[in-house]
Structure 1
Amino acid sequence: MSRTLAAIVGGAAGAVALVGILLLICCFCIFRKRSISTTSDTGSSDPSVQVGKNAGVELTSQDARRFHIEELSLATKVFSDKSLIGQGKFGEVYKGLLHDGMLVAIKRRSAVPSQEFVDEVRYLSSIQHRNLVSLLGYCQENDQQILVYEYIPNGSVSIHLYGGDHVTQEKLEFKHRLSIALGAAKGLAHLHSLSPRLIHKDFKTANVLVDENFIAKVADAGLRNFLGRFEVAGPSSRVAADEIFLAPEVREFRRFSEKSDAYSFGIFLLELVSGHEAMDLLSSELNVNIVEWVENYQESGNISAIIDPRLGNSFTREGMEEFMQLTVRCVDSSSEKRPTMSYVVMELDRILEKEMSLTTIMGEGTPVVTLGSQLFRASK
């Protein structure tokens, strides 16, 4: 009797244990399924990896929104001249207001629809970084190809450097220009860090935009991939202006690389520090390339003559010297001697940090302006 009772009790205990184990297995499977679902929806289990919203549609690292022509037509008032804000290599550029209140930049051209276009948009829209202008989506209807980007309110750095009185004097101080340069360098460095790396191929001052907080964002990354050919139709003056930013090996051999981007970045730095548009120097009585222009002043020991007078004395001699040395390295005719963009980021970050601390400690207006041959002289 006792043996029978013990067997019954033991069997019951075993059954309870088995049920408990089965329940644990079921809970684990349900939890894992939810976890996988969250990861596939956002590209990560971390919700911070979600990269943007547009018209109530959550955009992940794999998504590019397909817009309808009716919505974009309404956003631009039927692509009216009043909405037209520019003309680029890809085509006309419009400012648009979507029905959800979001401002966008819309680039439009006539072209036959293609799957390659969609694939390229999906790839480029997956690239997200604080210092890159985000490609939100596309439209292919009525024999038109349209790209939709986030709208950057303060426009390009070009406008603030030589486009008139569009910015307050404070924003032109050396440390602000350093901050803009650092942001743009981070954007390019991110492109180069991708696998496979993405070469910008069309980096120039006009493609560095600043938002309402003057944070720099690099525009048109990968846009050349849509063009098909290196030579593009358009006004000859614009083509000539773009050529100034191209490295020697690109102009001669059409050989793009991360080092050709570094050269273009160097031209951007020269415009940033001088306040001069490279194209103006070429088309002026001087008829000189901006790199040659700097080299001439360097040889004569009067490099301070290229520094934008609007900078006043808002910089230290050491900071300007290091900035110019880095700039000259970027525009070296030998691609092998140019620094990588990751190195440029590191150097600009160091120069900016030092410049901020020195000008804060010494007070605005105290830093000494570098004169003559003191520039480019190696620190001992």
Structure 2
Amino acid sequence: MKYLMILFLSGLMGFMTQQTFAQKEQLDKIVAIVGDKVILQSEIKTSMEDYRRDNPNLSDTVRCNVLEQYIGQKILAEQADRDSVIVTDEEVEGALENRIRYFINMSGSEEKLEETSGKTVYQLKDEYRPIFREQMIAQRMQMQVMQNVKITPQEVAVFYNKVPQDSLPFYPSMVEVGQIVFRPKINKEVEQYAIDKLEGIRKDILSGKSAFDIMAGIYSEDPGTRDNGGDLGVNSRDEFVAEFSAAAFRLQNGEISNVVKTKFGFHIIQMVSRQGEKARLRHILIKPLITSDMVGEATVRADSVRAKLLSGTLAFSEAVGKYTTDDATKITGGMFTDPQSGGSLVIPADLDPIVVLAIDGMKPGEFSQPQEFTDPQTGDKLVRTLYLRNRTEPHRANLKDD
């Protein structure tokens, strides 16, 4: 605790020093220093843009609160480095996928998100990945610090009673919702059609009939890169699914891969240029057509799993582990999570409106009928069963509920 206080004071001293210097030199982008970690003006700007997606009329005075949060986070991250506190890549990617999905839902579509942010989804992930990693490490460090803090119910009650009633925070209605997602199974004939189409595109590019970027603009079914000639930007191999990376990073500059299958569909990949351990890549994605018969078969599978859930022969967490094809919610036990806190209690407005509508008449503990939906990121037709674990009523903070 003494060490954390020293870090905190050094952070404040760094902040005051940088503020004085910034008045003289406007090009300086460092706004605070905590130990050997810096807080950049761009980080504050990114967070403000994030908050303004939820509240466009947010006052600039909130910057002070954002900076205070960053200082606290850096203090915890600094201590986490010394205590070797880590989070896995899978945990970071899961949280990142949830955040991007939230942005897409708020924007209305992936295309609108990219239009308003001026960045592709891949660029947004690159921007938020280190931020999420540090946030999650800081949260884990905070949990380790707090687990040794012993507070009795009597102490909590004494503190609560000292707080004026009109100063207690108001909590809106919140829900805990999970899902089990079923991806329709694609038959061999449909897969072969997609492969043949890509091989024809590749042949035309190799023969010189057309350029890769032009063919990507015409044929690729990846909305995030289609209008940029299939350009994925500069990325390291661990930022793609394994099959994609394995094929891409063995290519020489200018070389085009054979057809590669991933969970997203079929690709051909062009190595634009290697940059050390990173590479600039282009790709063309063709997704096998999902027919109504395939969706129907997935619905039958979902209904069978739902019957086991209702009979009590299968637990929800077990069903998620065995059946769901959604990676983002699989690592959270199937539950949607709050994009800010990472907790499972979510404000309904932050969920997909279709999910909100589906759970409107449900009671805690109930499972919805299987429903078809469109993945906002890929545009694929999928089937899911929703689970309402809990629903809270709007209320002021109190000892019973909070």
Shorter-chain TM-score bucket reads: under 0.3
- What's the TM-score, normalizing by structure 2? 0.24
Q: Which has the higher contact order (CA 8 A, sep 6+)?
A: 2
The structure number with the bigger radius of gyration is 1
- What's the TM-score, normalizing by structure 1? 0.25
